[in-house]
Amino acid sequence: MVPMQALIVDMQYLVYAILPFPVQFAPLAELLAANHGIGHSKLETVSSAELIAITGKVNHQKVISSTENALAYARVIDELFRLYTLLPVRYGTVANSREAVVSLLKKHTHQLHQNLDEVKNREEFSLKMLWKHEGSYQYFRGQPGAAKKEVPIPFPADSPQKTYLLQKIRKHRQENALVDYAEQLANKLEHWLVSFHPTFRFKIMVSQRLILDATMLIKKGYQQDVVQAISCFQDRYPDLHFLLTGPWPPYNFVKLPNDGTGQKSP
Amino acid sequence: MESRPNKIPTHQDMENNVVDRSQEVTLHEILDRVLNKGVVLAGDLVISVADIDLVYVGVRVLLSSVETLERIQSDKQKENEHMHGPNAGINR
């Protein structure tokens, strides 16, 4: 269970995803009829002149923040994503009328269209690289480069101060070596997958164990090839465990809001 | 618990190597995306977390992870303290 419960007050329309025009309405209507939203709510479209929001009604005071509801929310987006290019909307986004949804779509039409163009017919994959064993990163301890350069320390040999400083310097060098290694890994992965023309987002050294967290946006229909390519790439790194998931709707490539919280820099 | 169907169907040996189909990993990935990613549209929203009093988040229509909410509340508390002194925190 997600450890929280949330109440949405005085809200009517829960927004799941945003699609561009044109779409074929018959299959969309069929898809919406065959699925339901949170709390078995009926799914419906709310359209502006250029965009379509997929919505479902939610009741006042309704508790919506549970794992089950989050999964129901994700499932709606997933089903739509099988057929359409879309932008997933943040869980819990609600408006109190159809007009409010239309107004939000109109307000952000340009940005949403631009973003939709960027993710058009593309899907997201996530690749996490972790050290296989807790202490694997200790490999970097004692690397030739780590202890090569002497740093003058103005304390007597074997003094606590000198010992302390030497330990700090060694740790600093190890961390630098790890960051360098993670950056090299990211560059090599990018180069390795260049034939798929991916858009990448990288986070390095998320923790001591999680050395690289990559998300890739790749043209739809290449998942078998991506798996094969990453499987071959993994063979080069026996000390690393790879976790590949996908294909996902382009959650990590949404650009609204523009304050930087919606995307990560490579 | 639900799982995502048809995620990366591939050869068994490849799956064993790189594709993790465990429900735990997949669930974590789904929740991370649903709760923390996606378009954030401007609007109004009132939210409540567990037994914490309702907190007005303002112009953002979002409901996010506990970490995000805690950060928002922490920021609001700091802002409140800055404006009104250290004892003027958010009601809890």
Indicate if A149 and A234 belong to the same structural domain. Answer: yes
* Domain total in chain B: 2
Asked whether residue B34 falls in the same domain as residue B21, the answer is yes
Domain membership flag for residue A258: no
| Chain B residues lying within 8 Å of A66, measured CB to CB | none
Q: Say if residue B48 is in the same domain as residue B90.
A: yes
In A, which residues are within 8 Å of B25 by CB distance? Answer: 243, 245
* ipTM of this predicted structure: 0.73
Measured between alpha carbons, how far is B38 from A54 in angstroms, rounded to an integer? Answer: 14
Considering the domain boundaries, does residue A265 fall inside one? no
Which of A87, A119, A151 terminates a domain? The answer is A119
Let me know whether A233 and A136 are in one domain: yes
Question: Are B18 and A244 within 8 A, CB to CB?
Answer: yes
Range of the domain at B68: 40-92
Could you tell me if residue A217 is inside a domain?
yes
Chain A: give the shortest CA distance to residue B20, in Å.
Answer: 6
Report the number of distinct structural domains present in chain A.
Answer: 2
Contact B40 A256 (CB under 8 A): yes
Residues within 8 A of B (CB atoms), A 80-119 only: 87-95, 100, 104, 107-108, 112, 115
Q: Are B30 and A247 inside 8 Å of each other by CB?
A: no
Q: Is A175 exposed, middle or buried (0-12, 13-18, 19+ CB in 10 A)?
A: middle
Residue spans of alpha helices (H) in chain A = 25-34, 67-83, 98-107, 109-119, 144-147, 160-192, 223-235
Using a CB-CB cut-off of 8 Å, the residues of chain A touching B55 are none
Residue A108, both tokens:
């952000």
User: In this predicted model, what pLDDT tens digit does every residue of B8-67 receive, in sequence order?
Assistant: 433 444 444 555 555 566 677 787 888 778 787 755 443 333 333 233 333 333 333 444
Out of A99, A119, A139, a domain closes at: A119
Q: Which domain holds residue A153?
A: 122-253
A24-69 pLDDT tens trace:
888 899 999 999 998 888 999 999 989 999 999 877 545 456 777 8
Of the candidates A255, A137, A141, A130, the residue with the CA atom closest to the CA atom of residue A199: A255
B49 & B91 share domain? yes
Q: Quick one: B26 and B44 in the same domain?
A: no
Q: What is the 3-state secondary structure (H, E, C) of A195-258?
A: HHCCEEEEEECCCCCEEEEEEEEEECCCHHHHHHHHHHHHHCCCCEEEEEEEEECCHHHCCCCC
Q: Are residues A94 and A151 in the same domain?
A: no
Regarding whether B88 and B64 lie in a shared domain, the answer is: yes
pLDDT at A81 over 90: yes
Say whether both B49 and B92 belong to one domain. Answer: yes
- Is the pTM higher than 0.90? no
Half-sphere exposure of A235 (CA within 13 A, CB side): 8
Q: Domain boundary residue among A119, A137, A167?
A: A119
CB-based contact, A262 to chain B, within 8 Å = yes
User: pLDDT for A116-154, tens place per residue?
Assistant: 999 999 999 888 888 877 665 566 654 555 455 676 777
- Between the CA of residue A157 and those of A7, B5, B53, what are the distances in Å? 63, 63, 59
A212 inside 8 A of chain B by CB: no
Cα–Cα dist A114/B70, whole Å: 32
How far, in Å, CA of A231 to CA of A39, rounded?
Answer: 40
Tell me, yes or no, whether A218 and A97 share the same domain.
no
Q: Which positions in chain B have a beta carbon within 8 angstroms of at least one beta carbon in chain A?
A: 2, 4, 7-8, 10, 14, 17-20, 25-27, 29-31, 33-35, 37-43, 45-50, 54, 60-66, 69
